[in-house]
Amino acid sequence: MIPLSARPLGNTGIQVSPLGLGTVKIGRDQGLKYPNRFKLPSDREIRALFEEARTLGINFIDTAPAYGTSEEKIGKLLPDRQEWIIGTKVGEEFNAGESHFDFSGAHTRESVERSLRRLKTDYLDLVLIHSDGNDLDILDNTDCLESLMRLKEEGLIRAVGMSTKTVEGGKRALELSDIAMVTYNSSHTEESPVIDLARRTGKAIIVKKALNSGHIAREPGGNELALEFVLSKAGISSVIVGTINPVHLRSNAHAAANCQAESASNPAPG
């Protein structure tokens, strides 16, 4: 397999692989909607997963404070920080088996500074607001995004945006920031207008739940078809898929590479 080639993350100047590695499963095994139970991997298994990802051409890793010990594990085990694009989030915390949210400016700064310590880095490539579903209220009536913009000006963050849950929120996030992370798969295309807007305006789209939280994997060839469906949609920079299984990682990368090859042989009209 030819390693994945990076593509622009909108107009941020950042280059990301079309397949990103989601890391919730390396740090949290409670309160998730995956169809199968799993146990948290060992440090050795996590390190091997990161090494496999880089061999496949994956350079983008996605985490969040709400992912349990994920940030700490990445900071401890990720090799060659400079070779990776690291994205994390603010707003959601997960403690004692439950999520709670805080979108205040003070908490936003505190969360970013804590992520920098946990990830053992002096900058974050991107930080997204981890929405509770009230996208517009968060963007319009809290100082969360303003605080992120200030941290960006200070050089601690390269790009900012929001992991949204509504079409209106996705559009507003693109209007006010660099990136919208949206849900998009063959059974959920309602947020397609957000992707189309990003394509027209040069903003970035990252897709979550392309495999419908693992439920698509139950269908024959489901993962491969799902990734090809998403990556064939113009305007998408990267798809985040969470896995701790190296076999699944290779299969997902193979599907993304096939889509990459098809795009190269059939370029969009200019």
Task: Kindly list the catalytic residues.
Answer: 67
Tokens linked to 146: 């303003």
Supply the angle between the helices 192-201 and 167-176 in degrees, to the nearest 10.
20
- Cβ within 8 Å of residue 269, ≥6 positions away: none
Closest by CA position to 181, among listed 3, 6, 68, 22: 22
- Cβ within 8 Å of residue 48, ≥6 positions away: 246
Supply the angle between the helices 70-77 and 43-55 in degrees, to the nearest 10.
70
Closest by CA position to 33, among listed 42, 45, 24: 24
* Distance of alpha carbon 13 from alpha carbon 158, whole angstroms: 9
Task: Give the length of the chain.
Answer: 270
Cβ contact 24:47 at 8 Å? no
